[in-house]
Structure 1
Amino acid sequence: MQKASRWLLAGVLSSSAATSQAATLEERMAAFEARASAAEKRAAAAEQQTQALARELQQIKLATSALQPAASTASQATNPVVDTRLAKLEARQESMEKQASTSNLTDGFSFNGYARSGLLIDEGLGGGRGGPYTTPAGSVGGAVGRLGNEDDTYMRIDLSKEIYAQNGTRSKFTVSIADGVESSNDWTADESKLNVRQVFTTLDHIAAFKGNPVFENATLWAGKRFDRDNFDIHWMDSDVVYLAGTGGGIYDVQMNKDWRSNYSLIGRSYGDFSQGGLNADVASYILTSNQFFEEGQWQWMFNGIGAKKNDFGTRTNKAGLTPADSGLHSMLANHQKNFFGREGFFKTALLYGQGLGAEVKNVGSDGELIDEARALRLALYGETPIAPDWRIGPSLLAEQSKDRYVKGDDYRWLTLNMRLANTINSNFEMAYELSWQTMDLDPKGYLQRNAVDGNFWKFTVAPTFKLDVGDLLTRPEMRVFASYMNWSSDLDKYSTSDSFGKTDFNAGGVWQYGIQMETWF
């Protein structure tokens, strides 16, 4: 059709009547090309269509230019074939301009998020107490199962915008906003902890790196963010490793076909402290090397941490001792894409830290640790079907740390957790969770805490409606639940400020009930 149209147009223009129209045609095409140029600037998505139109118009322009010397300005006769052709092209351009004006803001835009919200009610119809870190071991990261054990409303939204350059390079800007409250009211401004968790930009598909096998697939980033390759045990709301702060780095440097690397420098702050008349903003810096082997199956992470002003000349920790001004942290992890040969997945991680690195989960976040601090943590978890319509998510999290805040302190804890789901139909399942934690904690009086030794256990039943079944991690979910918790009476004396230290929340067995939604996308 296009060839026939061009042939027809060339034939028409070769006549004397058509040549008299050349000047007017040139003016209309010039105006059209100006509009096309403006449309290209407004909408990158329309670029290919605009180029196609420009090529087509250029052919018309060349044909007209060849005949223009013979054009007669005396005759202004119009040709219906040419007018119809131009009218169609102009209509297409107007459509493109309208599309650009309405879609350029949404092109490359994405909206992701996570949220949970619900009621937790105790057996006396009072407000329930809970959370994955409700036990004494929770003060040093010892999480327990979260199902039927949350009394907060938390949300995070991630807004991103992608922009492509003509050379193919992509930029992506992301901002994350989060809030968490424990109030059940509809207006919670006074209790709000609204926070901007991330503000960062990435560059990938970088044109300057094309053809370089080491950097061709690399991503540059800078700003405030949490690391792309953090991972967690969802059943316990506990990150296995969590690296976050403000800085920059590079992902996916391809050392060879089975080895890729990430590197970053991130800053954090331990806040403003006053000691001996000095005021200082104690900053810490985390230099990270993250190595992945065999298509990401094996991961070795190493962090060096420095905070030179975190010393006795600036401040002491809450125990009155000199805090550490440096630390080391390392993690070896294995990411299996199946569950020991079965459908599902399984992950294992061994983490070690010393000095400021002895907070092995939230890397570099604890400025209270002393030089002698040492910590070793093991994490195991996964998911797999165990029978028709049944899935299981087992997990283990354990840690031993000593000399954390006071020389001679000792924290030992272990959590076993099991999430089960039984599919009833395409939108309904019965969820169950059994969680047990044992602990032996000796804080040596840090924060007026006392040595305790005991166990905690929880069992939850949760009828659950969801968008689709077949995976423990499919969301959204809406659930009602009943949870029974009990613990050793010795744990009640750990601290007067934690949940177990309250006079109305003691060992002997506690029933709690609730309703909750959870979603991510």
Structure 2
Amino acid sequence: MHTVTLKKPLAIAIAAAGFTLAGTANAQSSDLEQRLAELEARIAAAEQRADAAEQRAELAEQQAEEGLSQEEVEERLAKVERQASGEEGFSFNVYARSGLLIDEDGKSAEGGPYLTPAGSQGGAVGRLGNEPDTYAEAIFNYRMRFDNGAKARYTTMIADGTTTSNDWTADESNLNVRQVYAEFSDLPSFTGAFENTAIWAGKRFDRDNFDIHWLDSDIVFLAGTGAGIYDMQLADSWKSNLSLYGRSFANYPVDREDPGLTGDTDNLILTSNNYFGNWQWMLSGMSAADNDDRFNDLRTESRSVRTLVEDEDTGEMVEVEVPLSDEVVSEGEKAADTGFHTMVAYHGDSFFGLGEGNFKAAVLHGQGLGAEVKGLGSDGNLTDDATSTRVGLYGTTYVAPKWRVAPALLAETSEDRYVDGDQYDWATLNVRLANELTQNFEMQYEASYQWMDLDPQGFDGRTAVEGDYTKFTIAPTFKPQVGGFWQRPEIRLFASWSDWDEELNDYSADDAFGSDEFTGSQWTFGVQTEVWF
């Protein structure tokens, strides 16, 4: 096969060009970096063309040997070219993180973006040097293209997460199939407003979810099992998506006299997601039949009495404890069975209009079941009167040739959430800074501050608190190639210091704050890898 040997001179010539450019890179401007990126793209395309050419030559030989018709050869060549371009065939994507988070005593430390009292309401803090877990997502895709031009994709995602450091974690793992769906596009019978649409069904994360990566918090997260259609062209500058997702609520108490009696239902979420240029307007309605039978905070305590009984062996009177039926100490309120949610967002192609980069900003509001404004439809304990308003924004830019910065803000106010008169207010400000020192090494820094004023009115045994949380992290980071906030994989070493007001330790017996040796002024150290492709 002569085609195989032709690839070697091509690779040598490209490599030589790359080394020549690399030798002068430090003396060039960012324009050279762009040219290098373009060269890399051309190299990848050339390799794909070479692979396709090799397979075409093999088919030509096969045609000569087996007497294939020209039509058969053309059909198989077209399939080879589609696979080479990525339009058909199998692909594999990954997100993963794993590391150690160790305290000053050399033991595993508490951590995670949601470790503060506000975390139970979605109040995340900076994640750098603050994650104690191993979490992995494996995404398997298979793409097909049909003779009439229609395309299909089948996707499965498997995910697992654990906080143990052991290699065998079957007893602690949360292995789960998080997505299973099929999506069809380029359907030739779809015309007019539906000409460029894609339809789907199954269990999935919505395609248009977006997040603040440095807080490990979605700005909006729509997911579940259902069906939908993307990219309806309703006008020249108006695209729209429509979806119906279902989420299950199960095993919630419905009878005050019999706390063991439980119910279940599905929260159905109908969403219209609309785009006008850089603007996005999202509108959702929710319905969960019979969820209003739920008591959202039904808690009981064991009761007993001490009494005298005659000992069968000795005949003497002895005191024994006799259990009684459990006493209901709290029943909470009846939950909502409907909800409303809306979001207005702007997806900017500059750094807040101040320079090169990007930014995203969103305002979200919800009522009833929609008062969980990030994870739509995921909280079945919300009351009819629950209301929440959240603001989220972030941006990325270079402030100097080797310095980049990413500020982020996330804040929410919520009331009557679970109990009449409760109030949850919090705000997080986070800044990630990175200094690219070599092609393979950078220093990352993160400062995170959160203020919270939480008055749960006794819900779930929690007490009212107000205070601040602060965290600083320094993280020497190694990469195959630095450049931009989205370049992975990377390996980080880190040291973090965090502190918070003492009052926050009293919020809940179930959260991290106030637990043994975790009461404030904490140093943590560790190492972590993060990968995506």
TM-score (norm 1): 0.80
User: Which of 219, 222, 226 is equivalent to 1:240?
Assistant: 219
How far apart, in 2, do the equivalents of 1:425 and 1:86 lie?
Answer: 53
Shift of 1:198: 0.3
- Structure showing greater radius of gyration is 1
The 1:250/1:91 distance shift into structure 2, 3 A limit, reads: closer
User: Which of 181, 188, 194 is equivalent to 2:169?
Assistant: 188
Give the equivalent residue in structure 2 for 1:434.
447
Q: Is the 8 A contact 2:297 2:459 kept in 1?
A: no
Give the equivalent residue in structure 2 for 1:14.
none
CA displacement, residues 85-132 of structure 1 (integer Å, 9 cap, x when unaligned):
9647469989x999999x99x952110010000000001111111100
Shift of 1:322: 0.4
Give the equivalent residue in structure 2 for 1:467.
480
The 1:168/1:192 distance shift into structure 2, 3 A limit, reads: same
Q: Which runs of 5+ in 1 are unaligned?
A: 1-44, 54-83
Q: Is the 8 A contact 1:201 1:223 kept in 2?
A: yes
Q: Is the 8 A contact 2:408 2:430 kept in 1?
A: yes
Q: Is the 8 A contact 2:424 2:456 kept in 1?
A: yes
TM-score (norm 2): 0.78
User: Which of 496, 506, 531 is equivalent to 1:519?
Assistant: 531
User: Which of 327, 333, 340 is equivalent to 1:321?
Assistant: 333
Shift of 1:472: 1.3
Shift of 1:169: 0.6
Shift of 1:320: 2.4
The 1:450/1:86 distance shift into structure 2, 3 A limit, reads: closer
Give the equivalent residue in structure 2 for 1:176.
157
Q: Is the 8 A contact 1:273 1:282 kept in 2?
A: no
Give the equivalent residue in structure 1 for 2:16.
none
User: Which of 418, 427, 433 is equivalent to 1:414?
Assistant: 427
* 1:482 paired to 2:495: yes
Shift of 1:207: 1.3
User: Which of 261, 276, 284 is equivalent to 2:267?
Assistant: 284
* 1:154 paired to 2:123: no
Question: Any residues of structure 2 matched to 1:107-122 within 5 Å, and which?
Answer: 107-122=88-103
How far apart, in 1, do the equivalents of 2:505 and 2:64 lie?
Answer: 84
CA displacement, residues 272-308 of structure 1 (integer Å, 9 cap, x when unaligned):
33534765321110000000011xx100000000012
Q: Is the 8 A contact 2:341 2:371 kept in 1?
A: yes
Shift of 1:469: 1.4
The 1:208/1:128 distance shift into structure 2, 3 A limit, reads: same
* 1:202 paired to 2:183: yes
Give the equivalent residue in structure 1 for 2:280.
299
User: Which of 363, 368, 381 is equivalent to 2:376?
Assistant: 363
Letter in 2 for 1:166: D
* 1:271 paired to 2:250: yes
Give the equivalent residue in structure 1 for 2:407.
394
Letter in 2 for 1:132: P
The 1:282/1:481 distance shift into structure 2, 3 A limit, reads: same
The size of the alignment, in residue pairs, is 438
Q: Is the 8 A contact 2:201 2:228 kept in 1?
A: yes
How far apart, in 2, do the equivalents of 1:99 and 1:330 lie?
Answer: 45
How far apart, in 2, do the equivalents of 1:86 and 1:437 lie?
Answer: 72
CA RMSD of aligned residues (A): 2.8
Shift of 1:429: 0.2
Give the equivalent residue in structure 1 for 2:457.
444
More moved, 459-468 vs 267-276 = 267-276
Q: Is the 8 A contact 1:201 1:222 kept in 2?
A: yes
How far apart, in 2, do the equivalents of 1:100 and 1:379 lie?
Answer: 45
Give the equivalent residue in structure 1 for 2:291.
310
* 1:167 paired to 2:180: no
Q: Is the 8 A contact 1:272 1:282 kept in 2?
A: no
Letter in 2 for 1:356: L
User: Which of 364, 367, 381 is equivalent to 2:394?
Assistant: 381
CA displacement, residues 29-65 of structure 1 (integer Å, 9 cap, x when unaligned):
xxxxxxxxxxxxxxxx99x989x99xxxxxxxxxxxx
CA displacement, residues 428-480 of structure 1 (integer Å, 9 cap, x when unaligned):
00000000000000001111111001000000000000122120121111000
Q: Secondary structure at the match of 1:138?
A: helix
Q: Is the 8 A contact 2:297 2:460 kept in 1?
A: no
Q: Secondary structure at the match of 1:186?
A: coil
More moved, 274-283 vs 264-273 = 274-283
Shift of 1:503: 2.7
Give the equivalent residue in structure 1 for 2:209.
230
Q: Secondary structure at the match of 2:482?
A: coil
Give the equivalent residue in structure 2 for 1:38.
none
Q: Which runs of 5+ in 2 are unaligned?
A: 1-51, 299-330
How far apart, in 1, do the equivalents of 2:107 and 2:228 lie?
Answer: 48
How far apart, in 2, do the equivalents of 1:141 and 1:505 lie?
Answer: 21
Letter in 1 for 2:161: G
The 1:98/1:49 distance shift into structure 2, 3 A limit, reads: closer
Give the equivalent residue in structure 2 for 1:123.
104
How far apart, in 1, do the equivalents of 2:248 and 2:436 lie?
Answer: 47
Letter in 1 for 2:292: D
Shift of 1:185: 0.2
Letter in 1 for 2:450: Q
How far apart, in 2, do the equivalents of 1:481 and 1:275 lie?
Answer: 48
Shift of 1:271: 1.1
